[in-house]
Structure 1
Amino acid sequence: MKSQIGYHILATVIVLIWGVTFVNSKQLLMAGMQAHEIFTLRFLIAYICIWTISPRRLWADSWRDELRMILLGLTGGSVYFVTENIAVAIDYVTNVAFIVCTAPLLTTIIALIFIRDVKATRRLIIGSVLATFGVGLVVFNGHFVLQLNPLGDALAISAALCWAIYSILLRDVTHYSATFVTRKVFFYGVVTVLPVYFFRPWTFPLEDLAKPIVAGNLIFLSIIASFGCFALWSLTSKKLGALKASNYIYLNPISTSIASALVLDEPMTCMAAMGCACILLGVYCANSKKKKQ
């Protein structure tokens, strides 16, 4: 456990950074960019950056592994981000945020069903439930009015399911370097989002990319949140395992709520603070081991 403390800290930092990206994306959407335009530039820039540190190897060892890379690009890239952002556009943000943050719970359920060496411990179950409850407190922020939007909710569930599958698929490519896997995710993420442009063509003026608010947010999303965080996430998933790493996703709303309060002037209530405490306790409980007597 002590040898993995650094990776637990790393997972925490990565997820807290990802929580801030909601604010960055919202600012870009307010600037006039479409969701798939943001994703395309985000992953394209990240792909270019990772070539500076990734070996020039092009293909995986087998066509089965290459197929896994395509699935990683879909579930951790294009399908995940497109479904999530479309859901935000047509559904209530609170609904989407809450549903997407149940990805660790879905990861646990899928792993218990399909992976033999995964067992449900009491700490894992209690921690997952407590963290999910905390996410609800943070996301709804004291306003417990859940309004249904079947299509939007279905898209949000699809996004959460995508991330759960992505987390589990990472188990099957641990014999590759984290940078190689991440580069393939970026590449196939960009390739598989291209069909969206047949239905929603590019509309954002290219000259507006030079605007400070646009360029600044894109740089953060592509270089820090994608290039840096995705590579490090592949590493932490390899070292900690899919379930332990996935549980840190529960921390996402904490940095989102803090960043929203600072940048978007959205209120941070006592209820949200209680939710943050529940999330932290739940994640600690789910990832801790029972001490031997």
Structure 2
Amino acid sequence: MKQQETGKLRKLSRVNLGKTGAYALAFATIVVWSSTFISTKVLLDTFTPIEILLYRFLLAYVLMFALYPRIHRPESLKSELKLVLAGLSGGSVYFLAENFALEYSLASNVSLLVSTAPILTAIVAHFALKDEPLGKPAIAGALIAFLGVGFVVFNGKFVLRLNPVGDLLALVSSASWAIYSIVIRTLDTKRSSFYITRKIFFYTLLTILPVLFFFPPRFELAACAQPKILINLLFLTLFASCGAYVVWNRVIKELGAVKANNLIYFIPVFTLAESAIFLDEPLTPFALAGAALIVAGVYVTSRPHR
């Protein structure tokens, strides 16, 4: 029975999405990721950032192992090292750098600097990938969208306080995601995307371990009995980790690292809308103008090169 289920998952992970399907799944993932800020904000009242990261990926790994229990030998040393790098760049380093950046710098600074990931991805892809050149439309669209992100993030209240440590960590987080996208784009494997995602979660957990010696978790599991805590933790595990990573890895393969990451510009737009609905945070004309700039910027970058 388990072998049949595993076979079905393998077939499902290799279904041809097509461009339309890839964009649809990409936007669904963006909506999920934009909601993680709200869930994380709720969990931070009970857990530390390190604890949230540990619980999130530990539960995600257990679930992915239950869905795809097969164990394969490494295809090659090169492919396995890429998975280690993916776990580092798309998991531990990305989230740790972002979380610690928030300890030193303003949330608006961090949000804006992390949003440079699509720009950095385009630059890295230009040199690392032959099929994703950095053209003028890509540069122009990226700048327009980034300007829009600034409008949305500051939402009419421009406060920019430079903090070298926090801002540098935010840029490290951004660069880390750019590297992750390139690694996934160049990963040549016959394995199921479920298996690949499971391995990435494993290496994320493995590379978090050294940090736990300096910031040991308290393991206050009794708090998980609270419905609010449990629901938000399960959301981060089931949707923002398991589902989103499996889908996003397929999206990168289908659209390319640059086009896929350009859609990340929409995260602050959805976060703004969700915050207005669920947290009663203000929605200003300034932010709406930023959303329009983001749409325009992504449209410019997505147009075929002539």
State the TM-score, normalizing by the size of structure 2.
Answer: 0.90
Aligned residue for 1:158? 172
Query: Which residue identity lines up with residue 11 of structure 1 in the other structure?
Result: A
Is the Cα–Cα contact under 8 Å of residues 75 and 166 in structure 1 kept in the other structure? yes
**1:55 offset after TM fit, Å?**
5.6
Structure 2 SS opposite 1:20:
helix
Give the superposed CA RMSD: 1.6
Unaligned 5+ segments in structure 2 are 1-16
Aligned residue for 1:169? 183
- Does structure 1 residue 13 correspond to structure 2 residue 25? no
**1:194 offset after TM fit, Å?**
1.4
Aligned counterparts, 1:1-293, within 5 A: 3-30=18-45, 32-54=46-68, 56-175=70-189, 176-289=191-304
Runs of 4+ in 1 over 6 A off after TM superposition: none
Query: Which residue identity lines up with residue 237 of structure 1 in the other structure?
Result: I
Structure 2 SS opposite 1:117:
coil
State the TM-score, normalizing by the size of structure 1.
Answer: 0.94
Within 2, Cα distance between the matches of 1:234 and 1:100? 19
Query: Which residue identity lines up with residue 294 of structure 2 in the other structure?
Result: I
Within 1, Cα distance between the matches of 2:53 and 2:224? 14
Within 2, Cα distance between the matches of 1:285 and 1:71? 31
1:93-132 Cα deviation digits (max 9, x unpaired):
0000000011000000111123333222232222111111
Within 1, Cα distance between the matches of 2:67 and 2:254? 20
Is the Cα–Cα contact under 8 Å of residues 28 and 38 in structure 1 kept in the other structure? yes
Within 2, Cα distance between the matches of 1:172 and 1:121? 20
**1:204 offset after TM fit, Å?**
5.0
Question: Which deviates more from structure 2 when the two are superposed, residues 176-185 or residues 215-224?
Answer: 176-185
Is the Cα–Cα contact under 8 Å of residues 26 and 248 in structure 2 kept in the other structure? yes
**1:3 offset after TM fit, Å?**
3.8
Query: Which residue identity lines up with residue 40 of structure 2 in the other structure?
Result: S
**1:179 offset after TM fit, Å?**
1.3
Within 1, Cα distance between the matches of 2:73 and 2:164? 40
Is the Cα–Cα contact under 8 Å of residues 79 and 188 in structure 2 kept in the other structure? no
Within 1, Cα distance between the matches of 2:52 and 2:25? 26
**1:229 offset after TM fit, Å?**
0.5
The percent identity for this pair of structures is 43
Within 1, Cα distance between the matches of 2:149 and 2:269? 8
How many residue pairs get aligned? The number is 289
Unaligned 5+ segments in structure 1 are none
